A and B are shown apart, each in its own frame.
Chain A
């Protein structure tokens, strides 16, 4: 099979392979409308408020440190700009988040498959998820690469946070999570982002 012949086959496939049926537009819209617009507004539980407050405080603390250290360094020559316009306090928070997430994800397959520490993992993932979501709404998300990485982390951390709730299906759920990690090169991308942020700071 030559490359040309394969190319020809794939071009033909673009016209004839898996030609989609007509979508049931109205039916789908009814479900979407019910799920998105008619669902009751979720209220944050006190536990979430505590977590959100804690992370917000940490971010504010980071900003304060950043401003304080910026004054200290005012007399020194500026060597490098922050990572693609990410302000240093946010960069520090992001680096911490990525580091903690990398540790969690590295340990997850081994320990969780042995049935140990799932509740602890889920609690850690929940905390990291809150930070991830706050960073997604911060200037960090203006860097397209970081934003995409944070969005992927949001998905993976949400899955990890659900692990104890899905205890009977844990092996399968865990496999889904690890497949997603591999398929989307999540851990190598975390390492690259951390190296990039560290290099800039």
Chain B
């Protein structure tokens, strides 16, 4: 688990701010260096949030395109990693909403015979599978809080910055999410 606080502030021994300045001057080599310094972490964060390889590929591209477009507005008050991870969360949550709508529409076109049976879960599922399903069933905001805090190891302050919410809201969402997870896994405790 690595949070934003320990992200490297330097890229190849050069101050990140000077690389950003070079990117703003149109230096593609500097842009590539900045991209390579952050792409793995961003890609991992996006994949954790969406769980689909192709979608992660597309969304990660979108994150960097948007970041480079908005770079003139980056003032360096927060770490670049904090800033770009905020963009990553925003782009991913929006992307997931659009995909969800499309999938719902496709499902309705396929007809009732293809509607998944909600009760068809295995009678004795593996706990990990149940946890995965329970996390995926959480509301988007709560799911993001669990993934960012409990799985990716971000602090509530970092999550608040990324999601644009108050620290207290982040804590409350995580608390609610954990209650829901415990309820979803309650059967396991009785087994």
Contact residue among A6, A13, A25, A136 (Cβ-Cβ distance under 8 Å from B39): A25
A184 touches B53 (CB 8 A): no
* Chain A residue with the shortest CB-CB distance to B189: A1
Cα distance A161–B159 in the bound complex, in angstroms: 28
Stretch at the interface among B12-20, B60-68, B117-125: B60-68
A20 touches B44 (CB 8 A): yes
A136 touches B61 (CB 8 A): no
Stretch at the interface among A71-79, A81-89, A143-151: A143-151
Q: Is A80 an interface residue (CB 8 A)?
A: no
Cα distance A1–B97 in the bound complex, in angstroms: 31
Given contacts A20-B44, A23-B39, A36-B68, A28 and B152 within 8 Å (CB-CB): no
Interface residues of B in 153-191 (CB under 8 A from A): 153, 161, 163-165, 169, 178, 181-182, 185-186, 188-189
B165 touches A1 (CB 8 A): no
Chain B contact patch, size range: 35 or more
A32 touches B94 (CB 8 A): no
Contact residue among A10, A35, A184 (Cβ-Cβ distance under 8 Å from B146): A10
Interface of B is mostly: helix
B93 touches A20 (CB 8 A): no
Interface residues of B in 60-106 (CB under 8 A from A): 60-61, 64-65, 68-69, 73, 75, 77-78, 90, 93-94, 97-98, 101, 105
Q: Is A44 an interface residue (CB 8 A)?
A: no
Shortest beta-carbon distance, A156 to chain B, in Å? 10
Q: Is B131 an interface residue (CB 8 A)?
A: yes
Jot down 9 A-B pairs with beta carbons below 8 A, ordered by A: A3-B182, A5-B189, A21-B53, A24-B57, A35-B61, A35-B65, A37-B31, A155-B90, A184-B164
Chain A interfacial positions (CB closer than 8 Å to B)? 1-3, 5-7, 9-14, 16-18, 20-21, 23-25, 27-29, 31-33, 35-37, 136-137, 141-142, 144, 148-149, 151-152, 155, 172, 175-176, 179-180, 183-185, 189
